[in-house]
Amino acid sequence: MKTLKTIALTALFILNYLLANCQEKIPINEPNYNRPKLFDDLPQKIILTLSDMEPLFDLSVGSPVMAKLAKSFQFKGMIVSKSGDDRSAVRSLVIRSSTRQEAILTFTKVINTDGSFVYQGRIVSMSSSDAYEIVKENDQYFLQKRNFYEMVRE
């Protein structure tokens, strides 16, 4: 009788395990590929003007910003977050746009041990289907247009 109970419990456990794996996994949020494009008026690739970006690290949270990212692209908004100081190896700031559907610009400066700099960042809006990402090619930084779902997983 004891053996029969053990076999029945084991069979029940295995059956439960097999049925649990057969259930369909439903994504939390289904991607919406019909979102409007936020940067439709801008080119696929824009040369980034770093000299105008560097002074932004000296501003405080809550400061209004008119960042000239490129000759043809200004990002107007407010600094909502900032980390690091002059002695930090990593300095970062977050700017919320006041003109482009509250898009968020994240801009990070990483100082390597040899004193060289690396910049990273992106401009993303949760309500649009396109975004920009900062990329480096041949020692030149660009804003490269990307698909929202290539960069963000919901």
pLDDT band at 15 (very low <50, low <70, confident <90, very high): low
**pTM to 2 decimals?**
0.74
Asked whether the predicted pLDDT for residue 52 surpasses 60, the reply is yes
Query: What number of H helices and E strands is found in the chain?
Result: 3, 8
Contact (Cβ atoms closer than 8 angstroms) between residue 98 and residue 116: no
- Mean pLDDT of the chain, nearest integer: 84
Would you state the pLDDT for residue 101?
82
In this structure, what are the phi and psi dihedrals at residue 97, rounded to the nearest 5 degrees? -70, 145
pLDDT band at 36 (very low <50, low <70, confident <90, very high): confident
Residue spans per domain, the chain: 45-151
**Residue given tokens 């801008």 in the structure block:** 42
Joined tokens for residue 61: 């949270």
- Euclidean distance between CA atoms 95 and 67, whole angstroms: 10
Amino acid at 5: K
**Residue 120's closest CA among 100, 98, 94?**
94
**Residue 133's closest CA among 108, 111, 116, 101?**
108
Comparison of pLDDT for 108 and 87, the residue scoring more: 108
- Euclidean distance between CA atoms 21 and 121, whole angstroms: 39
